[in-house]
Amino acid sequence: MSDGVRIHKALADAGVASRRKAELLVTEGRVTVNGAPAGVGQLVDPARDVLAVDGKTIAAAQRRLYLALAKPAGVTSTVSDRHASKTVLDLVPAMLRNRAQRLFPVGRLDLDSEGLLLLTNDGDWAQRMLHPSHEVEREYAVGIDRPLESGQRATLERGVELEEGTARLAGLRPATSADLRLLGDLVGRPARELTWYRVTLRQGMKRQVRRMFAAAGIPVRRLVRTRFGTLRLGDMRLGDVRELSAAEKRQLDSLSAAPERRPAVTQRRRGLVVSIDGPGSSGKSAVGMRAASTLGYRFCDTGVLYRGLTWLAMERGAELDDPNDLVPLVDDIGLEADSDGRFVHMIVSGEDVTARLHTAEVDREVSRVSQHPPVRAALLKYQRRLAAGGRIIMAGRDIGTVVLPDADLKLYLDVSVAERARRRAVERGVADDARAVAEIEADLSRRDGIDSTRATAPLKVPDGAYIVKTEGNTLDQTVAQVVEIVRRAERSRPTK
């Protein structure tokens, strides 16, 4: 059936689940095609084949739905969050919700931010809108207490170094009188009590505007997204929801139809699969993320998966030494990419819990969880699927040895435990507390011992890996070294 589609796509199109979850359903034997068990990657014809999940027949692909929503403050952008009093889906009228089995936002606005948000049931379209290669602009009205000083404005226009890389604005200018009238209509009297600027982004770092303004020394009091690509908020009021017109949809489609803005040489290359291994706090995540940003690669820190599972196990009272308690929790966690292709957000049951993973409690227990062979096996296929398609840097403790033994390029970051303890102490703001530093060093040494002696996937230098010594280096120096190694490997790789 040459004109068929992959079964996981057919299930996603029908609103059953995301493609990743749909593939897991197939793997678990819960999907049938015309009464026979389905196979991973099987081609089907949704118009003629009968698909069923757990014995329940699935209807053909639902009609695509594209909505514009004016999000008020205090409403979360996740589609399900047990801690949230209201999500964006609660604002969608039942007559629209009933037309889509699975509706989700295109990107996010944080809880306190307001304005234009797109919703859809078309996952492929959402990914195109968010893909960093298309640089789809988002414009914001930013309300602050007082006008920017020259130094603050210079900082913003120059760019701000964040953990993910250099954050830059595509545009910054004071709001006009017309802008202020529209803002007054939208947010009421508070608009007149603030100084407003119009900010344009082409990047998609988490809370980028707020973090950049904070780095310049001035907090953001109100943040309203007024434009997404060619679509403007217009005369919508907070809480309004409407379906996009055919013309609006075509205009947005045109933004992702243009060729990728990459140098010609990288367009001819598939890109490398790069593994970065190393002990805890050796800088794998920070170095890998910065290098990926510089190279235009995707990035994944697989340690976030184990941290997420550890956090969830502790949250639910699971036995950390019993893999039978842990493995069932794997289905409840997943990594979500930001608009720059960095798989850095840990999602648990629809909620982003990334900020809760880097605690001393998780540090102490993550090795207990990660040492179980069934746990590692449960996460292995997921990690390999993320690496499919190339052009990715994946960081962890067994990437080049177990997860991606055939990686195009393998790196190992080498640094002493004393230096790693010092770095982690700086991150936690306890660098001047000798006792705290000593405790961190003891924890790292203990974890190194567990990781290097465990029977399954022990920490070691992968065969053929470049050893990158980072002792005494700044982060920028190590990143530059890694970028040069990758570019050298790219140049030696035949073009496709």
Question: Which amino acid belongs to residue 329?
Answer: L
Alpha-carbon distance 138 to 130, whole Å? 11
| pLDDT values of the chain reduced to their tens digit, one per residue, 496 residues | 345 778 887 887 776 777 777 888 888 889 998 889 988 888 887 767 888 888 888 765 567 889 999 999 999 887 655 565 788 888 999 888 777 767 888 888 888 999 999 998 887 788 788 877 778 889 999 999 999 999 999 999 999 988 878 889 988 988 877 778 888 878 776 677 899 999 999 888 889 999 999 999 999 999 999 999 888 888 888 999 999 988 788 888 888 764 443 333 333 345 799 999 888 777 788 889 889 988 888 899 888 899 999 999 999 899 999 999 899 888 788 887 776 677 878 887 667 788 888 888 898 898 889 889 899 888 887 888 878 767 899 998 888 888 898 889 999 988 787 877 776 777 677 778 888 878 877 877 776 676 666 565 566 888 888 988 888 778 888 899 999 999 998 887 655 4
Number of H helices, E strands in the chain: 17, 25
Alpha-carbon distance 209 to 227, whole Å? 14
Q: What is the pLDDT of residue 340?
A: 67
Q: Are 355 and 110 in contact (CB under 8 A)?
A: no
Q: Are 165 and 290 in contact (CB under 8 A)?
A: yes
Q: What is the pLDDT of residue 2?
A: 43
The gap between the terminal CA atoms of the chain, to the nearest Å, is 28
Q: pTM for the whole thing?
A: 0.47
Q: Are 40 and 83 in contact (CB under 8 A)?
A: no
Alpha-carbon distance 28 to 38, whole Å? 10
Q: Are 397 and 350 in contact (CB under 8 A)?
A: no
Sorted by sequence, the CB contacts under 8 Å of residue 160 that are 6+ apart come out as 166, 167, 211, 212, 215, 216
Alpha-carbon distance 9 to 23, whole Å? 9
Catalytic residue among 81, 90, 110, 235: 110
Class of domain 5-57: alpha beta
Tokens encoding 426: 């700086």
Alpha-carbon distance 114 to 141, whole Å? 10
Q: What is the pLDDT of residue 116?
A: 94
Using the 8-state DSSP alphabet, how is residue 123 labeled?
A: H
CA distances 222 to 193, 197, 485, Å, are 11, 11, 43
Alpha-carbon distance 411 to 276, whole Å? 5
Nearest to 417 by CA among 395, 443, 392: 443
Active site residue 253: no
Task: Tell me which H or E stretch contains 393.
Answer: strand 392-396
Q: Are 399 and 276 in contact (CB under 8 A)?
A: yes
Q: What is the pLDDT of residue 455?
A: 61
Distance of CA 70 to the CA centre of its chain: 23
Q: Where are the alpha helices (DSSP H) in 371-433?
A: 373-387, 417-428
CA dihedral 445, 399, 341, 273 (to 10 degrees): 140
Tokens encoding 112: 């306190």
Q: What is the pLDDT of residue 266?
A: 36
Q: What is the pLDDT of residue 40?
A: 83
Q: Domain locations in the chain?
A: 5-57, 66-257, 266-492
Alpha-carbon distance 259 to 170, whole Å? 20
Q: What is the pLDDT of residue 261?
A: 38
Q: Are 482 and 287 in contact (CB under 8 A)?
A: yes
CATH 3.30.2350.10 assigned to domain 66-257? The reply is yes
Task: Tell me which H or E stretch contains 305.
Answer: helix 303-315
Task: Tell me which H or E stretch contains 20.
Answer: helix 19-27
* 266-492 fold: Rossmann fold (3.40.50)
138-144 and 222-228: which strand pairing?
antiparallel
Alpha-carbon distance 413 to 278, whole Å? 5
CA distances 245 to 43, 102, 242, Å, are 33, 20, 9
> What DSSP line would sit under 137-167, residue for residue?
-EEEEEEESSPPPHHHHHHHHH-EEETTEEE
